[in-house]
Each structure stands twice: as structure tokens, then as C-alpha cells.
Amino acid sequence: MSRIRKAIFPVAGLGTRFLPATKSMPKEMLPIVDKPLIQYALEEADAAGIEQFIFVTGRGKSAIEDHFDHSLEVETLLRQRDQAGELENLRSIILTPGSISYTRQQEPLGLGHAVWCARHHIQNEPFAVLLADDFIHGGANCLQEMIEAYENRPGNMVAVMEVARENVSKYGIIDANGEEGNLVLAKGVVEKPHPDAAPSNLAVIGRYILEPGIFDVLSGQKKGASGEIQLTDAIAHMLPETPLHGVRFQGTRYDCGSKVGYLTANMAVGLSRRDLKDALAQNLAPLLKNM
Ligand code: UTP
């Protein structure tokens, strides 16, 4: 059984739903309170035991590379000002040299294509994929839950949660074959089905553990829903030889690719922080009352 040592972070999308904020700033750098989305995802992977972090970037995404690098200017200033806490906080972002690498997706042809672009960094071992805009807060570490489940159930694995029927066409949807504890056994998965045709309302969320055989499938894969090369289509193609399991994770997921999800995530994190919650609740109360 291979250990999950590597994670891919696809960050090459255009983030059109957040324009103009994302015109010159990557969507994945949007902050939840005071930390960018991508840092939460990286910290989740780091805490789950990932050792190599592979970013699939594109044009205009260099802010992500800079974020995970030293900023000598800021560090010197914080040292001169005796801001030890802030300095420590800033330095904690820096990973062991050589453990972070970047590859380019020259055109945003879809999530499946973005993952395929990282194939030479993965080679022949199972790996994780984390989408930073699926922000998971509270509960256990989602990727850790999946890695633990994977130890007994090799194959492809996805994080799943129930969504409202009318929203199934935004997700990959699981065709379930049964459940065991927090594990869903899948006999199929279909990308963005029409609500009337969806096999369930169990949606795939942006955390995956994938077998390396997926790269061969992605190599020859045609465009699917929304004209993009879809990762879920490749996972479906590997069934039934490569089993697929869904993990019902403990945390709460916020769709930070959407404005409402992003704003809600900021409120949820703000209200969970001891240094912010009282003042935030006080400011929000009249706003909500006057609606
Ligand atoms: P999304 O579809 O949510 O991101 O992809 P997007 O396309 O950037 O957003 P909109 O719809 O235009 O607003 C989920 C994740 O996959 C990455 C994105 O960067 C995001 O982190 N992605 C998506 C890629 O890396 N490449 C792609 O071709 C598509």
C-alpha cells in the first residue's frame, strides 16, 4: 500500500465569477479573514502528512508563488519593529526547500486537464488533489479523513456531501451502491447532471485521492460538460476496475468560488475567532435586523 505523499493544487482557473477582483489577482489568493484560500488548503494537506506540494498555475498567478516564499523586506521590517508574533506567523508559511513545485497549465481547459499537467511530478503513486475554493471549516481535517479511509479502501476516493436537488447540475454526482460508516460505495459518477436525471444528490467536493492510472485516461480524454476536460469523467471511466469511494467528511464546506459561499465563509471564520467574534456579531446584528 502506497502512502499519500504528494498533493496537486490546481490554481490555473480564470475565476470569472469574481471579476473584477480576480482580473489581476488569483481567486485562490482571496482571503478568508486574514489568510488566503490557498494557504488553508496547503495547511490542510501539510497537517494530513503530505510532503510534496505541486501547484498547477497559469498566467497571472505569480502572487501564489510569492506567497509561499520569503519576503525579506517584510521580515526585516517586522524584526526591526519587534513584531515577533507576526514574524513567526509569516515564516510558518514557508515549506521545506524543494517540497513545493510549480507547473503550468497554459490554457484553462478544465480540472481534468489541470491535474494531467502535473503528471510528471507524480509518476506512479496515488496522490491527493485539493481545490482551494472548496473551503472546509471545522470538524476533522478532510484530507486526513480520506487518507485514513484510503488505507483500507484503495482506489479513487472523493469527498462527498449532500446538496439541494436544484443544485446538482453544478457538481459531479455520485451513483451510490451502498454505505459503510462515513464511506459511500459508488458505482458511477456523472458530471453536472440535470436535476431530473441525477442519480442522487450526493455531490463531489474538491478533495480527491486518485490512482496514477488516471493520467492514462486523462491523456486521451475529450471535453465533457461545460466544454472542459472533466476529472470526474476520468474517474467514471476507471470504474469498475478501479473502485470509487466517497467520504462523508465532518467539516462544513463553503463554496468560495461563489460570492455567497465566500462571504458566508468569512462570517463563519470571523465568528469562530475569539479575537473577532464579539465585535463582528455586534456589527452584524443591526445589519441583519434592518434587512
Ligand atoms: P473552478 O471552475 O471553480 O474555477 O475550478 P474557475 O474556472 O477559476 O472559476 P470561474 O467559474 O471562472 O469563476 C476549481 C479549481 O480548479 C482550478 C481553479 O483554479 C480552481 O482552483 N482550475 C479549473 C484549473 O486549475 N484549471 C482549469 O482549467 C479549471
Domain residues for 54?
6-163+176-186+201-289
| 191 falls within a domain | no
Residue nearest to atom 15 of ligand 1 (CA): 131
Pocket test for ligand 1, best of 8, 27, 29 (most atoms within 8 A of CB): 27
Which three three-digit cell numbers place residue 266?
Answer: 468569512
Q: What was the pLDDT predicted at 226?
A: 83
Average pLDDT, the chain: 95
- Residue 98 maps to which CATH number? 3.90.550.10
Which three three-digit cell numbers place residue 259?
Answer: 460570492
Counting from 1 in the atom list of ligand 1, the atom nearest the Cα of 110 is: 28
3-state DSSP assignment of residue 214: helix
Helix axes 142-152, 37-47, angle to 10 degrees: 40
Query: What residues are in contact with ligand 1 under a 6 Å CB criterion?
Result: 10-17, 27-28, 56, 105, 108-111, 113-114, 131-133, 257
| 171 falls within a domain | no
Which three three-digit cell numbers place residue 59?
Answer: 498566467
Residue with cell 468560495: 256
| 170 falls within a domain | no
Percent of the chain with pLDDT over 70: 100
3-state DSSP assignment of residue 289: helix
Residue nearest to atom 7 of ligand 1 (CA): 13
Each residue's pLDDT tens digit, 28-87: 999 999 999 999 999 999 999 999 999 999 988 899 999 998 888 999 999 999 999 999
Could you tell me which of 148, 147, 144, 171 has the C-alpha nearest to residue 160? Answer: 171
Q: What was the pLDDT predicted at 1?
A: 62
| 193 falls within a domain | no
| 169 falls within a domain | no
Q: pLDDT grade, residue 233 (50/70/90)?
A: very high
Each residue's pLDDT tens digit, 245-279: 999 999 999 999 999 999 999 999 999 999 999 99
| 129 falls within a domain | yes
Q: pLDDT grade, residue 8 (50/70/90)?
A: very high
| 153 falls within a domain | yes
| 285 falls within a domain | yes
CA distance 280 to 282: 5
Find the 14 Cα to ligand 1 centroid distance in Å. Answer: 6
Find the 15 Cα to ligand 1 centroid distance in Å. Answer: 6
Q: pLDDT grade, residue 200 (50/70/90)?
A: very high
The structural domain count of the chain equals: 1
